[in-house]
A and B are shown apart, each in its own frame.
Chain A
């Protein structure tokens, strides 16, 4: 069973930093690209960042570019999001999500964690 468990959320002052973690299990982590997606309270979903399986390709939403950094440790089956210079508008539930390709050139997100709340 695919399991994604986020941690590291909490209350932080504007301008502060926070590091989110996502522990993955139930699948071969080093074979999958991964995403971070967030959802502000009462709002819709917003894609935040993508990392391929080997950390060679990373992408960010314009809203977090230069402030957030995605990383992963395949030996620990873990995904991370380092968030610096946090703003009030970064307040959201942050989801870790698995990516698959199904033989296609473009990805699809198939499983999501339960999320961790970040309040700025």
Chain B
């Protein structure tokens, strides 16, 4: 099973600040890594697919990078509506797995 380790677990950020979340895979997964945003009492929403491709309708301040074992989600100029928990997800091999999540709080 491929283990995804996200860091940090929690981040408290002021509006307009830049946020960087990392996801490390226990073995190479190519670019088969996707990022989701989940707000309280809502289902997850796809932000970034295949490491760096923005999903339709996602604001341009969200971007992703990486390949192999190390990946990054960047939120440029954080907005209040971005308060949420962010998850990485690998689909390189079964069982598919998720990172533990990063909760982003707005100061």
Contact = CB atoms under 8 A, between A and B. Distances in A.
Contacts of A104: 32, 50
B54 interface: no
A46 B98 contact: yes
B49 A108 contact: yes
Contacts, number: 58
Contacts of B99: 44
Given A104-B50, A110-B55, A45 B44 contact: yes
Which residue, A44, A61, A102, A107, has most C-beta atoms of chain B within 10 A? A44
Interface majority SS (helix, strand, loop, mixed), chain A: strand
A40 B95 CA distance: 18
Interface of B: 1, 30, 32, 34, 36, 38, 43-46, 49-50, 53, 55, 87, 89, 91-92, 94-101
Given A44-B100, A47-B97, A115 B43 contact: yes
A55 to B, nearest CB: 16
Nearest to A60: B95
A52 B38 CA distance: 25
Given A44-B87, A108-B49, A109-B34, A114 B43 contact: yes
21 contacts: A45-B38, A45-B89, A46-B98, A47-B96, A50-B94, A50-B96, A59-B95, A62-B1, A95-B43, A106-B32, A106-B91, A106-B92, A108-B50, A108-B91, A109-B89, A110-B46, A110-B49, A110-B55, A112-B44, A112-B45, A114-B43
Contact of A61 (B44, B92, B95, B101): B95
Nearest to B30: A106
Contacts of A50: 94, 96
